[in-house]
A = this chain, B = another copy of it.
Amino acid sequence: MPNPTAAFLVIGDEILSGRTREANIQVLATALTGAGIDLTEIRVIRDGLDPIVAAVNELRATYDQVFTSGGIGPTHDDVTADSVAAAFGVSIDIRDDARERLERLVAQRGIPMADGILRMARIPDGAVLIGNRVSGAPGFSIANVHVMAGVPGIFKVMVEDLVPTLRGGAPTVSGSVVVERGEAYFAEALAEFARAYDDLSIGSYPMQNEGKFVVEIVVRGTDPARVQEAVAKLGDVLRE
């Protein structure tokens, strides 16, 4: 059975404007790779009802799992929960289980309750809550769509709670070799090697390392012994 597939939908005016650097992609990607869920697409879109509804409906029909980040706070620009409810055609209102979590948080911290806090207890009908041990305000899963906070410290704990509950597949393992030779000089030999190991994914990634151009050759697959074997043989391929 092939691994389940996934998409990540980042709701992020601040990333699109360049003001904020995206910080959640790597956390989710790493967790999914370890769980054997193939992250196949990431989209960053505006904080608006129409773009969120369109993207959620397209992605949930295409992939086994869809994760979202951002837009579930209490302010006027937090429209993710309403948009996801609209995408599924279900109602959304303050729900008792979510309100209780927020009331507990407020009592623990000795802070006053506010309408804005209750707004974070608005959950689409039929959704299951995702825990948030950092700030209390829950995320939620509805069918295959998992709606999480954008603040990196909260996103991370939600991913840690959620991903182990999803059906996974064979985790992808990887190994790599770094060379200081230009890619062009081993491209043909590497292509031949990749054909011989066509059960593995072999990528060549040029990068600058302390000003010097180096290339990292990465081997990925689900059989650790096979990945290890390929990495061990790469040296011969990359040698001048």
Contact = CB atoms under 8 A, between A and B. Distances in A.
Nearest to A195: B76
Interface residues of A, number: 72
A14 interface: yes
Interface stretch (A18-26, A85-93, A125-133, A226-234): A18-26
A43 interface: yes
Contacts of A190: 75-76
Nearest to A55: B41
A51 B12 CA distance: 23
Contacts of A19: 174, 218
A202 interface: yes
Contact of A174 (B17, B33, B152): B17
B77 A204 contact: yes
A179 B55 CA distance: 32
A178 B152 CA distance: 18
Interface string A10-51: 100111111111100111111111000001111111110001
B16 A42 contact: yes
Interface in A194-240: 194, 201-208, 213, 218, 220
B16 A135 contact: no
A151 interface: yes
Given A77-B203, A184-B119, A207-B151, A25 B15 contact: yes
Contact of A205 (B14, B22, B31, B206): B14
A33 to B, nearest CB: 5
A191 B44 contact: no
A4 interface: no
